[in-house]
Structure 1
Amino acid sequence: MNQKFKTVESSKVELSELMLPSHSNFSGKIHGGFILSLLDQIAFACASKHSATYCVTASVDTVDFLSPIEIGELVTMKASINYVGRTSMVVGIRVEAEHIQTGVVKHCNSSYFTMVAKDDQGKSVRVPGLILETEKELKRFFNSVKRNSLRKEREAYSNQLEYSVNELIHELEGHNVKIDL
């Protein structure tokens, strides 16, 4: 049986990996898809650690690539549970790259993955609540609530939009598009 509440600290996960030439794209920087794969792995580990069960990725709310990662840098990902719902968890992940020779560390990426806990039959299961012990944890939880609310507002807004073709064409004036209907 899952605990009723767990601390943020109890499910934190950190992963470090040296960036190799095989991880690079055609411009010699580390491929974003490779970083996304690592992000998904650490989100799974963090969520599974919190829920004590198998978890799946439900959505990726934000992946902001802030700075390119170079071959030979040591990438460290730090994941923590920022929010829990009934069966879902938001895992916040910070990605830093360290130039090994100079020791200079740069913030390269911030991401938010929504993970859902599953049982052996693939049904969603209840997750432990979250014990917030610091102001930073409280702010992260609140920010997750706000992001969730804004996402729901965007979805509701998009679902009620109904444009005629003439309105769409008018709305797209000034954009870098050629309409050839």
Structure 2
Amino acid sequence: MKRYKHNSESHVTFSELMLPSHSNFGGKIHGGYILNLMDQIAFACASKHSGHYCVTASIGSVDFLNPIEIGELVTMKASINYVGRSSMVVGIRVDSENIQTGEVKHCNSSFFTMVAKSKDGSVSKDVPGLIMKTNTDVRRFLESTIRNEQRKSYHTTFDKETFDHAKHLDKLDGQNVEIQL
């Protein structure tokens, strides 16, 4: 019998104070450090939902909306937005808070596709289905399916074996490029 879980059963939230050791040369928190934390919370959320070891299969776009300053408290929230047979899409939101003023900034959001694996990592494992209780649950699930379809379409359109640049020259009009084929 297939098991189902609501995404609230897998929610993960954590906060961390940003230290000078996390900063880049510009004095802001290094984006790579934030991505590392996002990967960790995606793993925790997916593992909690699936009950298995999970690996990162892909990361959706990550737009750094606001810089994170040294001394701010970063809070990440992760939840399961979509499940397939062995894959899950984990939605992650990153906020930072100036703990002196209380100002909270949305810094970025992203979607990590995680795959449940056996302990040795050799076999994909089935994951529980998703119980959707709210309009938001359904919207997030459908948005994930649309992103997946768009990704597949992109890979089909720009397949390296069949790609013909002449079919796409109109997309290059007005771009800062010169074609010398």
TM-score by length of structure 2 reads: 0.90
Give 1:162 shift: 1.7
Distance 1:11 1:133 in 2: 14
Matched AA of 1:20:
L
Query: Are 1:73 and 2:75 an aligned pair?
Result: no
Structure 2 counterpart of 1:82: 81
Deviations 1:28-87 (A, max 9, x none): 010000000000000000000000010000000121111111111000000000000000
Structure 2 counterpart of 1:33: 32
Aligned CA distance change for structure 1 residues 132 and 172 (closer, same or farther; 3 Å):
closer
Aligned CA distance change for structure 1 residues 170 and 79 (closer, same or farther; 3 Å):
closer
Q: CA RMSD in A?
A: 2.1
Q: Secondary structure at the match of 1:63?
A: coil
Distance 2:169 2:11 in 1: 49
Query: Are 1:135 and 2:113 an aligned pair?
Result: no
Structure 2 counterpart of 1:162: 164
Query: Are 1:62 and 2:61 an aligned pair?
Result: yes
Distance 1:170 1:144 in 2: 29
Distance 1:78 1:135 in 2: 19
Structure 1 counterpart of 2:22: 23
Distance 1:148 1:169 in 2: 26
Q: Secondary structure at the match of 1:64?
A: coil
Deviations 1:138-181 (A, max 9, x none): 111111011111111111111142236xx889975654346678
Matched AA of 1:51:
S
Aligned CA distance change for structure 1 residues 173 and 130 (closer, same or farther; 3 Å):
closer
State the identity as a percent: 62
Aligned CA distance change for structure 1 residues 177 and 52 (closer, same or farther; 3 Å):
same
**Unpaired stretches in structure 1, ≥5 consecutive residues:** none
**Unpaired stretches in structure 2, ≥5 consecutive residues:** none
Aligned CA distance change for structure 1 residues 134 and 175 (closer, same or farther; 3 Å):
same
Distance 1:17 1:3 in 2: 37
Choose 115-124 or 155-164, whichever is displaced more.
155-164
Give 1:134 shift: 1.3
